[in-house]
Amino acid sequence: MKARDLIPHVKNVTGIKVFGRVKRVVGLMIESKGPSTFIGEMCWIHVKSNGIVKKIRAEVVGFKDDDVILMPYQNIQDIAPGSLVEATGSTLEVKVGHALKGKVLNSLGEPLDQSPLPIGLTSVPIDQDPPNPLSRPPINETLEVGIKAIDGLLTVGKGQRLGIFAGSGVGKSTLMGMIAKNTSADINVIALIGERGREVREFIERDLGPEGLARSIVIAATSDQPALMRIKAAYTATAVAEYFRDRGLNVLFMMDSVTRIAMAQREVGLAIGEPPATKGYTPSVFAILPRLLERTGTNHLGSITSFYTVLVDGDDMNEPIADTVRGILDGHFVLDRNLANKGQYPAINVLKSVSRLMNHLVDPAHSESANKVREKLSAYLQSEDLINIGAYKKGSSKDIDDAIIMYPKIIEFLKQPTEDKVPITTTTMRLQSLAQGG
Confidence tier at 3 by pLDDT (50, 70, 90): low
Nearest-angstrom CA–CA distance, 330 and 19: 47
Provide the pLDDT for residue 366.
Answer: 95
Cis peptide bond N-terminal to 226, omega within 30: no
pLDDT for residue 14 is more than 70: no
C-alpha 122: how far from chain center: 22
Q: Which of 22-36, 151-165, 399-413 has the highest mean pLDDT?
A: 151-165
C-alpha separations of 254 from 70, 108, 185, 188 in Å: 29, 18, 12, 8
Which of 92-106, 138-152, 166-180 comes out lowest in average pLDDT?
Answer: 166-180
Confidence tier at 346 by pLDDT (50, 70, 90): very high
Mean of the pLDDT values across residues 165-183? 87
Domains of the chain: 18-91 (2.40.30.20), 94-360 (3.40.50.12240), 365-436 (1.20.1270.330)
Nearest-angstrom CA–CA distance, 316 and 168: 12
The HSE-up count of residue 38 (CA atoms within 13 Å, CB side) is 5
pLDDT digits (tens, 9 = 90+) for 76-97: 778 888 889 999 888 999 999 9
Confidence tier at 8 by pLDDT (50, 70, 90): low
Provide the pLDDT for residue 390.
Answer: 80
Provide the pLDDT for residue 27.
Answer: 79
Which of 108-117, 397-406, 407-416 comes out lowest in average pLDDT?
Answer: 397-406
pLDDT for residue 318 is more than 80: no
pLDDT for residue 74 is more than 90: no
Mean of the pLDDT values across residues 376-391? 85
Q: Which residues of 40-55 are buried (b: 16+ CB within 10 A; e: fewer)?
A: ebbbbbbbeeeeeeee
Say how many C-beta atoms besides its own lie within 10 A of residue 356's C-beta: 15
Provide the pLDDT for residue 374.
Answer: 95
Question: Phi first, then psi: what are they for 386, rounded to 5°?
Answer: -65, -40
Provide the pLDDT for residue 15.
Answer: 56
Mean of the pLDDT values across residues 220-242? 93
355-325-148 Cα angle (round to 5): 30
Provide the pLDDT for residue 13.
Answer: 54
Confidence tier at 315 by pLDDT (50, 70, 90): low
C-alpha 227: how far from chain center: 16
Maximum Cα–Cα distance for the chain, whole Å?
108
Look up the pTM and report it. Answer: 0.89
Is residue 152 within 8 Å of 146, Cβ to Cβ? no
What is the overall mean pLDDT for the chain?
89
pLDDT for residue 317 is more than 80: no
User: Considering only CA atoms, which of 383, 211, 241 is closest in space to residue 306?
Assistant: 241
pLDDT digits (tens, 9 = 90+) for 364-375: 999 999 999 999
What type of residue sits at position 368?
A: E
Is residue 187 within 8 Å of 216, Cβ to Cβ? yes
Nearest-angstrom CA–CA distance, 157 and 140: 7
pLDDT for residue 11 is more than 60: no
Is residue 291 within 8 Å of 130, Cβ to Cβ? yes
Mean of the pLDDT values across residues 419-427? 92
Confidence tier at 343 by pLDDT (50, 70, 90): confident
| pLDDT higher at 277 or 156 | 156
